[in-house]
Amino acid sequence: MAPEQKSKSLLRNDLDKKRVGIKILEVLLSFIAFICEEVVNNCSDCGALYFFEFVSCTAVLFTILLLILLTTTLCESVGINRLSLVDFFFTLGMAVLFLIASCVFAAHNEGTALETTSVITGFLATVAFLFDVGLIYKEKGFPWSPKNPVSTRNPDNKESDEKKTLDDSGDTANNA
């Protein structure tokens, strides 16, 4: 292959393996919570069960979709240019929803082994989503903040800008 030819790879090269591992863990924990909840036969307060089912199923499906978008170049061909913003808010939203759903389901279940396993897995998924939000913030900061901070220099006060430039270069204003 000639050096000037670009390889048409579907996978992104700037992929962070730690974040992909966390996303896979989120999918697995959400899937286990969903399966355990689906096997529950009886419910006295089915609203909590159905809400937990909705949250866990949504987490599985949309986290898989987000994982595909993060690991492939598909987002570029679809036209998603703010993937980091989508990733941050989706992950934060799933953490909050999983926390609420797990708390509600923990309070309104019959205490069977499957329900308890679902609740525990839901709380573990919450921790995984929150950890992922922390990683996003640690690596990139808030996705809506500007990459290059705006200059605080005053264009109307050129004299103070010149003095600052002289001071930064090591010279004093008296030597100039």
Question: What's the pTM value of the predicted model, to 2 decimals?
Answer: 0.73
Q: How would you classify residue 153: left for phi > 0, otherwise alpha for psi between -120 and 50, otherwise beta? A: beta
Examine the pLDDT at 4 and tell me if it is beyond 50. no
For the four alpha carbons of 26, 27, 31 and 32, in that order, the dihedral sign comes to negative
Give the mean pLDDT of 128-133: 95
Nearest partner of 85 among 148, 125, 136, judged by Cα: 136
- Write down the domain spans for the chain: 17-143
Nearest partner of 122 among 96, 151, 148, 144, judged by Cα: 96
- Alpha helix positions (H), the chain: 17-38, 46-71, 74-78, 83-107, 113-140, 158-168
Model confidence over 61-76: pLDDT tens digits?
999 998 988 888 777 7
- Is residue 63 within 8 A of residue 26, CB to CB? The reply is yes
pLDDT the model gives residue 17: 84
| Nearest-5° Cα angle at 23, 22 to 25 | 65
Give the mean pLDDT of 135-147: 77
Give the mean pLDDT of 31-39: 93
Lowest mean pLDDT among 10-14, 33-37, 60-64, 147-151: 147-151
Of the two residues 101 and 79, the one the predictor is more confident about is 101
| Residue 16: count of CB within 10 angstroms of its CB | 13
